[in-house]
Structure 1
Amino acid sequence: MKRIDAHNLKYAVLNELVRQAIAEGCKKIILDGVCGQYYIGCGVAKPVEIVINGVPGNDLGAFMEGPAIVVNEDAQDGIGNTMSSGEIIIHGNAGDVLGYSMRGGSIFVKGNVGYRACIHMKAYKEDISPTVVIGGCAGAFMGEYMAGGTLILLGLNRDKKRLTGNYLGTGMHGGAIFVRQGVDETLCSNEVILSKPDDKDMEKILANVKKFCSIFGYDCDKIAKDEFVKITPKSKRPYGNLYIPGP
């Protein structure tokens, strides 16, 4: 195990220390005093665990393949940008564009997320498919241009706050979004349809809710008894009418 004090370190210096620790064969790295440093875990392709005490900056875990990253506080924008595999756990809130172009692996967020969560998230057949579970609420454009994968929104801190922002699923053409306790249809884009999850969907939902609860200490039975709404695209080419037809 390697412990690194990140206080007053520039992001490039901190990331070089992390890379050195991984090259030395460390399986677990603890970063203390993180405050906005970018690109932590970016491009790492080793099965290493990185524990972050503090608030990491943008693009945490971007392009990563295999690591497990645990953030014990909030995190900023672009978490899991184009990640291929591995796991990111956020014990607080996350910023905008969570899981942007995410291709595999999983992200679990205890709290709220900002705008455009899971924009361009995608999957490869049934073999490689990302999963994102958000415990709180989300901002506008959640699931924008989503092409694959699974997004589960639990709204555990909903109270009187809107569960999502406007334009839910804009341009969505693949994957599925599952929302606990209903969806305000006026917030949804015209490109999606709402339905009831089938038995196979519920198996997937319950498996991920169970894992979420084991991570963050929630009562799985209490959450699982509530109804979920399934959001899927109407078409795989929602804007096909805007393209010039070929010869």
Structure 2
Amino acid sequence: MGKTVSVTLGTAHFAEANATVREALSQNDTVEVNGVFAQRYLGCAMPAGKTLRIHGVPGNDLACYLDGGEIEVFGNAQDQIGNTMNDGCIVVHGRCGDAAGYGMRGGQILVRDGCGWRVGIHMKQFEGKRPAIVIGGDAGSFLGEYLAGGIIVLLGKPGRHLATGMHGGVIYLRHPIGEDEVSAGLVQEPADEVDRTVIGALLRRYNECFAADLDEPLDESGEGFHRLRPTTVRPYAALYAN
């Protein structure tokens, strides 16, 4: 254990590809995965102490149910990375597709560039678990849809219908939206000192992950950010009997 090994997937079917990666992880802590061509489910439920370094473009549901492992993608990633992940970290040196962090319950996703639609949908938090997503570029529509908990930091511009149905958590925006774009039940306001501490820690992590990709590190002060938050934790209370 503790060794690093390399495997090459090429055009292998996703089932064969995952069997190869699982076998390599069973005998090593770190696996360099080369020649990745859209194979699905890589790193599914991977536990703490295991690392995948992926060269290529992984397919849908990368790191679904991730349970403490670490995955670094040197390229773009497709849809639903970190689907229902519980813990761990995903770093993408590129952009990701739709629904990253769907139902995410813990850990971090850091994307150097932009993302597709519905990223952070149904994210949630409980007690000490507070998941976080940092998007370095622009986001597609419905970012933070039905957000129930956790943190999203967006460094680029949001798409349409930001945070539709959001009822928990917080979204930090470097580019605030117009007041006419703020959905009912939400409020947009300048980040305060506590917010800036949270933002600063995540920007520091972003700088660490993408140091080799950035012309210069991001300002980690959190100055100038706005937060988007719900005005109530029970927006649908009237729909249910007490």
For residues 129 and 182 of structure 2, what CA distance do their matches in structure 1 show?
27
* SS across alignment from 1:29: strand
Matched, 1:16 2:19: yes
For residues 79 and 222 of structure 2, what CA distance do their matches in structure 1 show?
32
* SS across alignment from 2:10: coil
One-letter code aligned to 1:9: A
Matches within 5 A, 1:65-104: 65-104=67-106
Offset at 1:4? Answer: 0.8
* SS across alignment from 1:54: strand
For residues 36 and 188 of structure 1, what CA distance do their matches in structure 2 show?
36
Residues 101-157 of structure 1, C-alpha deviation per residue, up to 9 Å, x if partnerless?
0000000000110101100001112x11101110001011111111111110011xx
For residues 197 and 217 of structure 2, what CA distance do their matches in structure 1 show?
14
Consecutive unaligned residues of structure 1, counting only runs of 5 or more, are: 156-162
Matches within 5 A, 1:1-247: 1-24=4-27, 26-125=28-127, 127-155=128-156, 163-217=157-211, 218=214, 219-220=216-217, 222=219, 224=221, 226-241=223-238, 243-246=239-242
Residues 68-123 of structure 1, C-alpha deviation per residue, up to 9 Å, x if partnerless?
10000000000100001100000001000010000000000001101011000011
Residues 40-82 of structure 1, C-alpha deviation per residue, up to 9 Å, x if partnerless?
0011224111011000000000001111100000000001000
Contact 1:209 1:220 in 2 (8 A): no
Offset at 1:172? Answer: 0.8
For residues 225 and 206 of structure 1, what CA distance do their matches in structure 2 show?
5
Offset at 1:221? Answer: 5.4
TM-score with structure 2 length normalisation?
0.93
Offset at 1:226? Answer: 4.6
- Please tell me the root mean square deviation across aligned C-alpha atoms, in Å: 1.5
Consecutive unaligned residues of structure 2, counting only runs of 5 or more, are: none
* SS across alignment from 1:6: strand
Cα distance change of structure 1 residues 124 and 244 upon mapping to structure 2, 3 Å threshold? closer
Give runs of ≥4 in structure 1 deviating > 6 Å: none
How many residues align structurally?
236
